[in-house]
Amino acid sequence: MSENVVLIRYGELYLKGKNKDYFENMLKDNIRAKLSDISCKLYFGRGRYVVKEYAMCDENAVIDRLKHVFGVHSVSVAKRCGYDFNEIVELALSVMPDKGTFRVSAHRSYKKYPLDSLQINMQLGEKILQAKPQLTVDLHAPDYVLHVDVRENGDVYLYRDAIRCAGGMPYGTGGRGLLLLSGGIDSPVAGYMLAKRGMSLTALHFHSYPYTSQAAKEKAVDLARILGEFCPHIKLKCVSLTEIQQTIHKQCKPNYMITLVRRFMMRIAQRVAAENGCGCIINGESLGQVASQTLESITVTNAVVDLPVFRPLIGMDKDEIIEIAEKIGTFKKSIEPYEDCCTVFLPDFPLIKPTIEKVEEQESRIENYNALIDAAIENIETVEI
């Protein structure tokens, strides 16, 4: 008797050698959590995980959720049966269309099965041709590939298609990073790319209420919620920059505004990172995209922190970033027309090649520098996603 199952394949975990168990166990936990409210059973075999005994009405939900689990390379909806070859033939005929070109691709991990992979391909292909004469064999570029997976546990799985998933490494295996989450296109993509390498995220959003609207902050919450589909238990911390920006505007030269604000942001981020167990700061900077993202500006802002600053988008152009944003579902939210804190007191001619010496001279004019940072951190708002 056959049943529908969902096969789960992981990607680069097979490269992990003696550490593989740690990564696999984390991936299993993440899959369990993602499917926790769907009635089903999970089987974790060697190299293959299987979701079974679910209601057919839940099949699409199972697939959609697994597509958001980092470490899952692909999934397939498969038919499961036993080792009996006649049952395999019957199931294959129910899976294959009536016309077109095809080939059979068998994988026999259970080496005691009486037919090897080549024999399964030939004998099963022959049975399909006899029953469906309008089908023809094409070994090189067929319309359909029938995969036959013979496993050690007594199961045989037949399927045609593989659905690509997020890939990467299991979430939570790469440490924790603090993502500087604006309301724009770039920073959610940067967070996604580091999370895909296994890094857990805590997000930090800077706002300038009332110069920026409450809707602008809600936009950041919505972006964090979208990232939360990939990043379980992400926290969002919101910091007001209003007093800091007002002080800079009064006491410093206008063209230093962006550079000085970003140095404040980095200092605040380092303290928030330390308080939340984060080993790095992540931002969405792309080299040369705006004045604050030149080599000189990046050097000046990096100078105030000791933590590593990861910039996964640094060599990407806007089209490449947008393509990823559309894929992960953040693009439409990111382009909603709400201003972020970087647009407040924006100078006509911001510096593109600041020097540390001149920036420090401007900072020396701010009498209550550390008190401003303390006040911003004391009034952080934490949003559970």
For 300-335, what is each residue's pLDDT tens digit?
A: 999 999 999 999 999 999 999 999 999 999 999 999
Cα 70 to the center of its chain, rounded Å: 6
For 120-150, what is each residue's pLDDT tens digit?
A: 999 999 999 999 999 999 999 999 999 999 9
pLDDT bucket at 359, cuts 50 / 70 / 90: very high
User: Quick check: 158 and 88 in contact, CB under 8 A?
Assistant: yes
Select the more confidently predicted residue: 334 or 213.
334
Between CA 107 and CA 116 the distance in angstroms is: 9
For 287-302, what is each residue's pLDDT tens digit?
A: 988 877 899 999 999 9
What's the pLDDT at 341? 59
- Percentage of residues in the chain having pLDDT higher than 70: 96
Looking at 3.40.640.10, 3.40.50.150, 3.40.50.620, 1.20.140.10, the CATH number of the domain 176-384 comes to 3.40.50.620
What's the pLDDT at 11? 81
For 252-274, what is each residue's pLDDT tens digit?
A: 998 999 999 999 999 999 999 99
Select the more confidently predicted residue: 286 or 46.
286
Q: What is the mean pLDDT of residues 159-185?
A: 95
Q: What is the mean pLDDT of residues 3-14?
A: 88
Domain 1-81+165-170 fold is Alpha-Beta Plaits (3.30.70)
> Where are the chain's structural domains?
1-81+165-170, 83-154, 176-384
Whether CATH 3.30.2300.10 fits 83-154 = yes
- Mean of per-residue pLDDT scores for the chain: 93
Query: Comparing C-alpha atoms, which of 195, 272, 185 is closest to residue 232?
Result: 195
What's the pLDDT at 1? 63
Strand order in the sheet with 200-207: 309-310, 280-282, 176-180, 200-207, 235-240, 381-384
Between CA 257 and CA 26 the distance in angstroms is: 44
Q: What is the mean pLDDT of residues 2-14?
A: 87
For 50-103, what is each residue's pLDDT tens digit?
A: 999 999 999 999 999 999 999 999 999 999 999 999 999 999 999 999 999 999
Reported in sequence order, the residue ranges of 65-219 that DSSP labels E, i.e. its strands, are 72-81, 100-108, 135-137, 144-150, 156-159, 163-164, 176-180, 200-207
pLDDT bucket at 105, cuts 50 / 70 / 90: very high
Helix/strand/coil for 124: helix
Select the more confidently predicted residue: 342 or 198.
198
Task: Give yes or no for residue 340 having a pLDDT over 70.
Answer: no
Q: Do domains 83-154 and 176-384 have the same CATH topology?
A: no
